[in-house]
Structure 1
Amino acid sequence: MSPPTENGDSSDTEGSTSGSQTDSSGTERTVLEERKLTGMRRTIANRLQESSQNAAHVTATREVDAEELSRAATLANDEFDVDVSVLDIVLCALSETLAEHPGFNATLEDGLHRMYETQNVGIAVDIDAGLVTPVLAGLESKSLEKIALDRRELTALVQTGDYSMSDLRGGTFTVTNLGVLGVDSFTPIINPPEVAILGVNRIRERARPGDDGGVEFRKQLAFDLSFDHRVVDGADAARFLETLCARLENARAFV
């Protein structure tokens, strides 16, 4: 998953052609199509290159037992008037985690690691024109019900194209969810000048030793945390993920 992007032209490519191509060895290859990067796709490409060149990317992965998380999502849907997803509860747990580990709710610009009290969390949304990441501002002040409502409204704005540049700016941390597309693990790319991004994978059942000495299947959820090693270390990332998982193992507290 690529990092958040700013709004560009709706057309991603231009000058599409087909034909034959011969390389230096004389081997001919039939070209299906050629697309010149323009608009939003070019912006995405530039941001990816900037991120890979300027940040010291490292990714740490950890699994959490998701049985309690799944039950909490079911309870929340019964409790509130808005649909609550697993991701909404993850955002609640993330808010508490960022408060405990402020080095990740931060940016790095001009050699200055700036940490924020306000949690402006970007939520990556895939649309036809490319990937955009609208910012869910003030996460630290929102209840689970409010998070679910605001996230859905923000996603709808992006999907209908009814958003502005201000909706994409001011982020302090980013979440990208490929679990909805069946992905088990990936390496999220940091959105500069932020210093970290959390990848959310799919929930799957895994065999675990049971209390009776047998085997039981339990729901598991893996997270991939990419961070800028220039400002935070692997041990910091491990503690961040430990806090996040501990909050999610007690997910009913958010309902």
Structure 2
Amino acid sequence: MSIDFILPDIGEGIVECELVEWLVKEGEVIVEDQPIADVMTDKALVQIPAMHSGVIDKLYYKQGEIAKVHSPLFSMTPEGDTSTNDTVDAEIESKPEVGTQADSTASADNTAVATATVVSAPVVNSSHTTENGKALASPAVRRVARELDINIHQVAGSGKKGRVYKDDVVAHSQQGSCAISTGTVQGTLIGGTRVEPIRGIKKIMATAMQNSVSTIPHFTYCEEIDLTELIALRGELKEVYAKQDIKLTMMPFFMKAMSLAIKEYPLVNSKVNEDCTELTYFDDHNIGMAVDSKVGLLVPNIKYVQTKSILELANDIMRLTNDARSGRVASEDLKGGTITISNIGAIGGTVATPIINKPEVAIVALGKLQKLPRYNDQGEVEARSIMQVSWSGDHRVIDGGTIARFCNLWKSFLEKPSHMLVHMS
């Protein structure tokens, strides 16, 4: 007997998702836990696994269509036809997908706000290699192709075995724009346009940022931090822990120092209600980090930072960074943040005006690390490792004096790591 698999409640108020790619075909024999489809919610790319072994009877949506929560996603006949139910709830699986050649070189420090991608024409491989009749491309690349109304099988891949990357799709789109261009000037296309829908992560980010700016009076406070001693300490430790497969970046130190400072200034770890009549203080320090992922800006957060060691934070940061870059972040990791760090300096830039991740009341942007001349206590000029940081605060809750004193304490922990270690319980 054929049974329907029902798309379950994914949480966070999500009622629909985009069917990015079917990983099976009608009539195909499948086994339990085999991936059936990739779907894109407003939060992340997630995978639907099979609950039973059997045969796929019908796929209810086409690629690119919007699937509704609590509606049938596909139907199948279970192996042996022993089921007595006509519907089965599917389960969402959120696992990091295997990194492609294009994204495998990114470092775990590269957490940042979303940024524009500079596209250059790739070296084109004339062979269109396919696997089981399918073009070699990740779900995210296939999604870009659909948004640009491009048949991905017609795109020449520049990767190994003809793998298609985002740059290949964009280059193919630009080549095709000749048909709608109004003309050329010395071989340069002019007058062409294209329209693409704002969906998924980009849509939720746009809505959240617009809501934050329109309802929260922002103010920004900037400071510089001398990280020379902290960098030296990290240099001593990172090779030791690399042997244990722990990548010790600067971010665990930034988070732990922030948690220690929050203990003295709990106001920055709070939220205000909509009519601004009451404050809620959070005992837990769930510190978010803005990650420039391949599906858009994601802000997973590390839970209970106040209880964790530097090494525990390093492991959590490594896991969430990998998940975010693949677009497969568990919904639990995206919920419950209380304050956010944006490491824009990993990409470039020194000073920013970050937008608060509502309903939080503060966010800090880390600028790039620079070697700059500074006077020491003896009045001599020496090279120091300097980082500019930019805080944005909710001026309904936090005044300039509070953010300045909080930042000074946070800065003291980072500039004198021994000071931070003494305060760690």
TM-score with structure 2 setting the length: 0.54
d(CA) in 1 for partners of 2:353, 2:236: 32
1:14 corresponds to which residue? Answer: 147
Q: Determine whether 1:77 maps to 2:238.
A: yes
The letter of the residue matching 1:192 is K
Structure scoring higher RCO (CA < 8 A, sep ≥ 6) equals 1
Choose 1 or 2 for highest CA Rg. 2
Moved over 3 A (4+): 8-21, 78-81, 210-214, 252-255
Following superposition, the deviation at residue 215 of structure 1 comes to 2.2
d(CA) in 2 for partners of 1:106, 1:126: 25
2:258 corresponds to which residue? Answer: 94
Q: Determine whether 1:126 maps to 2:292.
A: yes
Preserved CA contact (<8 Å) 1:183 1:202: yes
d(CA) in 2 for partners of 1:102, 1:45: 29
Q: State the Cα deviation string for residues 21-58 of structure 1 (Å, max 9, x = none).
A: 9xxxxxxx713432221222111111110010010111
d(CA) in 1 for partners of 2:391, 2:284: 20
The gaps in structure 1 that reach 5 residues or longer are 22-28
Q: 1:52-201, aligned counterparts within 5 Å?
A: 52-80=213-241, 81=244, 82-110=246-274, 111=276, 112-201=278-367
Q: State the Cα deviation string for residues 170-205 of structure 1 (Å, max 9, x = none).
A: 111111101111221111110111111111111101
d(CA) in 1 for partners of 2:195, 2:269: 40
d(CA) in 2 for partners of 1:179, 1:220: 12
Q: Determine whether 1:48 maps to 2:206.
A: no
Structure with more helix by fraction: 1
d(CA) in 1 for partners of 2:306, 2:328: 25
2:403 alignment partner, one of 237, 245, 250 = 237
Moved more, 118-127 or 162-171: 162-171
The gaps in structure 2 that reach 5 residues or longer are 1-40, 46-139, 150-172, 183-189
Preserved CA contact (<8 Å) 1:106 1:113: yes
Structure with more strand by fraction: 1
Q: 1:196-207, aligned counterparts within 5 Å?
A: 196-207=362-373
In structure 2, relative to structure 1, the CA distance for the partners of 1:160 and 1:15 (3 Å cut) is closer
Q: Alpha carbon RMSD of aligned pairs, Å? A: 2.4
2:68 corresponds to which residue? Answer: none
Moved more, 82-91 or 170-179: 82-91
Q: How many residues in Structure 1 have an aligned counterpart in Structure 2? A: 244
Moved more, 75-84 or 243-252: 75-84
Preserved CA contact (<8 Å) 1:120 1:137: yes
SS at match of 2:259: helix
d(CA) in 1 for partners of 2:394, 2:346: 26
2:392 alignment partner, one of 223, 226, 246 = 226
Percent sequence identity over matched residues? 29
